[in-house]
Amino acid sequence: MRKSRTLNLGTGSFVLLGFAALFFLTTQTTSRGLSFFGPAHYDLTAKFDNIGDLKVGAPVSMSGVEVGRVVKIDFDSNDYKAVVLLRLNERYNKIPTDSDASIYTQGLLGGKFIGLTAGGADTYLKDKDQIDFTQSAFVLENLIGQVLANFTKSKADALTPAAADPKATEKTK
Amino acid sequence: MFGELWESFTDALEGLGSVVHFLFRLIVNSPRVLLRFTLISQQIFNSGALSLVIIMLSGLFVGMVLGLQGFQLLQRFGSEEALGTAATIGLVKELGPVVTALLFAGRAGTALASELGLMRATDQISAMEMMAVDPIQRVVVPRFLGGVIAMPLLAAIFSVIGIYGAQLVGVQVMGVDSGSFWSQMRAAVDLSDVTEGIVKSLAFGVACSLIAVYQGYYSTPTAEGVGRATTRTVVTSAVVILFLDYLITAAFL
């Protein structure tokens, strides 16, 4: 009897230690926190022309405060837009219906996140509502492409001033 | 020459088939054994609690090495705050389950195999059969289930101690900021990373325990046979663990 008691004590403390370790891994090393099902929340959708490299799990923030996360990204093949599903904490349920959503970049080359800017309407967004005013991601490659195109164009203009300036050609006539 | 090769191939195939058959026998007998939990609890103690010291010590040192190496590497890019993320993902997904399983095969697997082999060699298993006690139910399944339950818990303990070790070297010795160590880790580590580690350690637990009890149960009933069974347990377990590790990593990608 004595032996089986120490044995059970050993097994019990080992199992307890193991589950404590599992608990630590799931709650302390991830952003899950203590709640297993997450806090009360509601979902909004927003359509963007281009989401850049926005990822599922990216934060949604208002005035720099994290109010939710991106939970799903889909493509609408009817109007060729990206549909982003945002899950917002129920605590922040007073977001005006005419608020706008933009995609920003964290730091210079960091990950993308969605910033909401409050509008002025008296009615608030509810579950399953859509944010109508959106602004696409700022894609660095596009900007570089535009700059390069402008640069080469202006260079070409400088080389052939006659073609660029019709008045000049008239004068020479 | 060719005939020998063919024969060894069919032998290997036959061995694989009998392992699968053995696994099915264990699974079929498992529900009945689960009712007698004292037997399993004893085996959890044997293969889990008794492996705790080696697992915790190894975890601490693996974590400390990760902290040191990770710091050296990340410092070159001026991002030593990412140390927590790097160490945790490395430990939870990869090193925790794999190193624990290798240690488990060496510490608990060999013990299981030699115990069962000695039972076979000293005719204890035949004696049980004569008393109409099913040795699979009474002896083998509790050991198998004990190992399967103990392994994920050991891997989790290994990872936690490892993270502590990385924190010890990174934060206390090398001076990485404690706040950014933890907050960057929490932002970057996903629950799916932890799940992957748990799935891996569960699969390794099944594989290690199965190989150990199989080798022990079917060992040649001589002193040499028991020795060979323990050696084979470690070798086969190591190869199977690393193979499964690749498969599960690819599946989770």
Whole-angstrom distance, CA of residue B250 vs CA of residue B253: 5
Separation of alpha carbons B45 and B103, rounded Å: 16
Pairing relation of β-strands A59-62 and A112-117? Answer: parallel
Mean pLDDT of chain A: 80
d(CA A29, CA B9) in angstroms, rounded, equals: 47
CA distance A66 to A89: 9
Chain-chain contact of A14 with B45 (C-beta, under 8 angstroms): yes
Does pLDDT of A160 surpass 80? no
Q: What is the pLDDT of residues B32-91, one digit of tens each?
A: 888 888 888 889 998 888 899 999 999 999 999 999 999 999 888 888 888 888 999 999
Task: Test A18 with B153 for CB contact under 8 angstroms.
Answer: yes
pLDDT above 70: residue B108: yes
Partner residue opposite B41 with nearest CB, options A11, A21, A57: A11
* Interface mutation target, options A19, A25, A35, chain B, most CBs of B under 10 Å: A25
| CB–CB contact B153 A22 (8 Å) | yes
Q: Quick check: A67 pLDDT over 70? A: yes
Across the range A54-64, mean pLDDT stands at 84
Mean pLDDT (whole number) for A53-57: 80
CA separation for the pair A172, B103 (Å, rounded): 90
Residues B182-220: tens digit of each pLDDT: 888 887 888 888 999 999 999 999 999 999 999 999 998
What tens digit of pLDDT does each residue of B122-179 get? 999 889 989 988 888 889 999 999 999 999 999 999 999 999 999 999 999 988 888 8
Residue A2: predicted pLDDT: 60
Among B92, B153, B198, the residue with its CB nearest the CB of A15 is: B153
Question: Mind listing the pLDDT tens digit for each residue in A131-152?
Answer: 888 888 777 778 888 888 888 8
Tokens of B210: 């199965």
Higher pLDDT, A70 or B235: B235
Query: What is the rounded distance in angstroms from the CA atom of residue A79 to the CA atom of residue A47?
Result: 10
The residue of chain B with its CA nearest to that of A36 is B191
Name the residue in chain B with its Cα closest to that of A16: B153
Pick from B44, B157, B191: which is nearest to A30 by CB? Answer: B191
What's the CA gap between B59 and B50, in Å, rounded?
15
pLDDT of residue B58: 95
Domain locations along chain B = 51-252
> How far B157 CA sits from the closest chain A CA (Å)?
5
Of B49, B152, B159, nearest to A11 by CB-CB distance is B49
Single out the residue of B100, B86, B98, B92 nearest to residue B169, CA to CA.
B86
Mean pLDDT across the stretch A101-129?
Answer: 83
**Confidence at A36, pLDDT banded by 50, 70, 90:** very low
pLDDT mean across residues, chain B = 90
Cβ-proximal residues to A38 (8 Å cutoff; 6+ apart), any chain: none
- The pLDDT of A118-138, averaged and rounded, is 86
Residues of B with CB under 8 A from a CB of A: 38, 41-42, 44-45, 48-49, 52, 88, 92, 149-150, 152-154, 156-157, 159-160, 163, 185-187, 189-191, 193-194, 197-198
What is residue B49's DSSP assignment? G
CB-closest option in A14, A19, A32 to B191:
A32
